[in-house]
Structure 1
Amino acid sequence: MRVSIASPKATMSLKILIVGAGVCGPALALLLQKSNPKHSITVIERYPSLRTGGQQIDLKAQGIPIVKKMGLLEAIRSHLVAETGMELVDTNGKRLMHFGVQGADQGGRSLALTNEYEFMRGDMVKIFYDATIAERAEAERNGEKEGGLKYEFGTTVTALDQSSDNGVAVTLSNGQTAQYDLVVAADGQGSRTRRLAFGEEVSTEAFKGLGVHAAYFNIPRLSTEDNLARIHFAPDSRMVMTRTGNRPITQVYFFLMKDKERNETMKKMYKESQEKQKEIWTEVYEDAGWECERFVKGMKTAEDFYACEIAQVKMPRLHTGRVVLLGDAGYCPSPFTGELARNKNDVSAALTAYDKLMRQPITEYQKLGPGTEGGFYPSSALGIRIVNNILWTLSCFRVDKAIQWIHGMFPAEQGKWLLPEYPELNLGSENAK
């Protein structure tokens, strides 16, 4: 049994507002509670309920030890999608090249799309949300009467005022105002909180569009579909991907790669209604070959359709005063709360340390891989046929397997950053089951 005596300063509680109940918001709330159950935490979300939709995501690199220490790796495992690999297909659906599953313990680079830990975004959101509720309930069962955790849905921030030395005065969309020691923006790449805190000019300048546009939606799965992910390149800088795994739906991803002629039109599209956006994507994809006729038809009635410009957020700093950016709002998700616990709730010192700590991983993970902007595949029909024939020939000789094996032998550049250790967070061991 370990006995520790904490100083009054170490157990000082903070009043914290987290904006966004996606993945990062609840994950942060869980870490904050584990580090100090006396914190008073409010998580607000602009949608009327927890958003448990979304497409397939994966967990790898530093994310695995983080989730393991949080005690949630087994919960993640119970929701894994059984995707057996990925293949490139031509306009007739014929396999050109196949790649298997990248194991969590496999070092180096990988050409594989499928990783060992594949799951649906909504499942991860629910896991983190449930864990925060359970963590607070456990603290109260153990006699904790200070602090607390609450979620408020259908609520946004409309104004921030840091003119006082007492923290941040926040005005909410429901008309309520409150003072917080810390405000965390975890509301995505288009963060409204970032615009309020840093100003419209800085926020707009930080949004770096890549000239790539995407649409995501689900359609019913065919009985003939297997568990492979598939990618098809079409002329005019178009790419479509499907993922089914062992789920009853087919996830469809439309990508319009870097295309100067269409880029401006697509940017303006996001101000239009969802129906108008679907019409534009229909025009782009109705003649793209493979099964795109089926995909376009399913898109017209899909209720979970979502389109966006693919971008990076490159902020000159991650905090201003006592408002800090987390996840996509500042670009890179991180174990932010470690610095808050280590600095004994000295918010200013913690935010300065967080900003410094995150510079290396942000630089590493914002490096664009080859082909990200459409350079991997030619845009003309003739060029695509030539490349497809080359890939099919290589696959016949099992060269794709050799490429994947050789590629995995080289250490990944993105593995340079070492995950910092924070015993102050009171997390479990990485070796814990």
Structure 2
Amino acid sequence: IDDLVHPPVGDENPDSESFSLQAGPFPIRLLLWKLAAWLRPARPYDLMHILSAALHAANAGLLLILLRQLVSARAALLWTLFFVVYRPANEGVLWASTQPDVMVATFSLLALLAWRRGVNEPRWRLLGVGLAVLAMVTKLSAVVLPFLLLAHAWWVEEGGTARERVRRVLPMLVPLAGLGLIYALWMATHRGLWETNYEAHFLTFGKFPQTGENLARGLLLVRPAALVHSDAFGLSFLGATLFAVWRSRGIVRFGLLWMTGFVAANVFSSGYPAGRYLYAGSVGLILTASALAGWAAAHPLRKRIAMAGAGLWLLASLYAYQRDVRFYDCWGDVHREAQGAVHAHAGEIRAAGALAFARDYSPVYPWSQWLVRYEVGEGIQIETQLPACPGDGRPCLDFGDITEKNITASGSLPEGGCEGHVSFTPPALSE
């Protein structure tokens, strides 16, 4: 959704950013972007969105296979359905910039399934390590996988002592962890070279409360940052999560570690607080919830409480899902209207060599430069976020009062609908 417009030169310069979707030095994303640009040069981003939806379906299938190994068939199906409608998971599909999060979850789930099968067939362990490498070359947050696979051997697997199990897997995981850490440090120090979002100074105290805030977003299904944006709240939530890790065991502990690890990796690499970057971490939340539900089922009162809580969570997820669909669909209408206006008047804009944008406030202002580049071409001078169209004769695209109609993440829509707000003023007629 955020990547409604991509540069038309994607097949010639695929490692440049496509709005917020960046191929960067990640080989898997680079190849996929080149393939999409080759198959559909005019609208490669359509294929990227389709791929995200297909990967989400595949991830649901992989999660179902994993849960069938841990809980009953009925419970596995139920918790997979939770994952399908879970809000952060769906945000990961709706936003093109989080396609790597969806993809890294695919490789991570495959790695975990292979790793678990390797308990009885050691050659599968090597396949799990290889899939973890694929995850790391897809998104940097996968550097936590070696530590998660070690935690699985330590706390989840059976047979022999924990020390013996750890000793058996260390020869495979130590090189993988070292490779991942070197890769992460190299990425953090080459921001200028690759123009990625990774920060050179990422080990700062402020990232700890942000980790807690993002964990809260995942559990509470909250998207607006203002509702959970507090250092004290973030640290408290992170502390409570770590305490739960310490006091829990088995799959509950492993799921909490998975969730916290992926969330922290995203926060420490970019620090951008948004629910849509919780996709891979949501797998851990589902694992934890399924294990807790199994524990609750052994006692009638706990079972009733768990069923009531799960029902409310499912209803909240469904409500958030339909609200997000309405919200994003509205902005899709606005974008198509703006795109149509620029396309229809491309000749006038090209002749004037300039285009002004009025009232293109958040979240529409990032579209401006890409609308011009994609529909008109290079070399057009643009000016954005003006309070009104200028009176100097430049052509102007005015977004009207659409951003003042309370179109927020809460899903509220303008009374008159989402269309009819964008207007184009031809050159020499601006007033």
TM-score after normalising by structure 2: 0.25
Greater relative CO, 1 or 2 (CA 8 Å, sep 6+): 1
Q: Greater share of helix residues, 1 or 2?
A: 2
Q: Greater share of strand residues, 1 or 2?
A: 1
TM-score after normalising by structure 1: 0.25
